[in-house]
Amino acid sequence: MEKSQKPIERHPLEPFTPEGAKLLMLGSFPPPHERWSMEFFYPNWINDMWRIVGHIFFGDRHHFEVAGAKKFDQEAIVEFCTERGIAIYDTAREVRRLLGNASDKFLEVVTPTDLHALLATLPDCHAIVTTGQKATDVIMSVFGCSEPAVGDCSEFEMAGRTMRLWRMPSSSRAYPLKLEKKAEYYREMFAKEGVL
């Protein structure tokens, strides 16, 4: 099928924007729905985002897993993110999957997220955390900021607000780094942003 003939897929979730959120985590786009283990962000059972967070905040990578089931505890994750002030969304509203998977390499962004409008709903947010290269590229193209090294941040101005862009290692297992090593990068970022 030609690239232009692939169906356009609209984002199935609305932005998660708890009141008082201090940071906004942005991926690129969710995986196909058949890979979801819950109706929330980073839903793929083999994606380690919630294991990284469990390891950092609770000393247990299995903290957000439902015992005996290959699924994450959505209610516990939503409660945690609300309490800690973590907003979550993705940098694309509409995409074409060129290979039918969730790999950034094979996602064509048709309609990017209106990040200015999204951040306008998060007045206490001063940090954007990207969890992949495509998300980082979109942020740089929208705000004209420089690309930080993995695990580091760069600053930019947006509507009179000083923002930090953090580039974190991907939580996908395709990213060749042990979970504990990824967690070290995330721990430092969460600590510097006053979330930990």
SS3 105: helix
Give the CA radius of gyration of the chain: 16
Tell me the C-alpha distance between 12 and 97, whole Å: 14
**Mean pLDDT score, 88-107:** 81
Average pLDDT of the residues of the chain: 92
Domain that holds residue 168: 3-192
Say yes or no to pLDDT of 72 above 60: yes
pLDDT tier at 37, thresholds 50, 70, 90: very high
Q: The CATH number of the domain where 85 resides is what?
A: 3.40.470.10
Quick one: average pLDDT of 57-72?
96
Report d(CA 26, CA 92) in Å as an integer. 9
Domain count for the chain, please give it.
1
pLDDT tens for 137-173 read 999 999 999 999 999 999 999 989 999 999 999 998 8
What's the mean pLDDT in 11-39? 94
**Alpha helices for the chain (secondary structure H):** 49-58, 74-84, 115-120, 133-143, 179-192
Q: What are phi and psi of 52, to 5 degrees?
A: -60, -45
Contacts of 154 (CB under 8 A, 6+ apart): 145, 146, 147, 148, 164, 165
Q: Report pLDDT for 99.
A: 76
Q: Which of 12, 17, 13 is nearest to 120 (CA)?
A: 17
User: Stretch 48-62: mean pLDDT, rounded?
Assistant: 97
Terminal C-alpha separation, the chain: 47
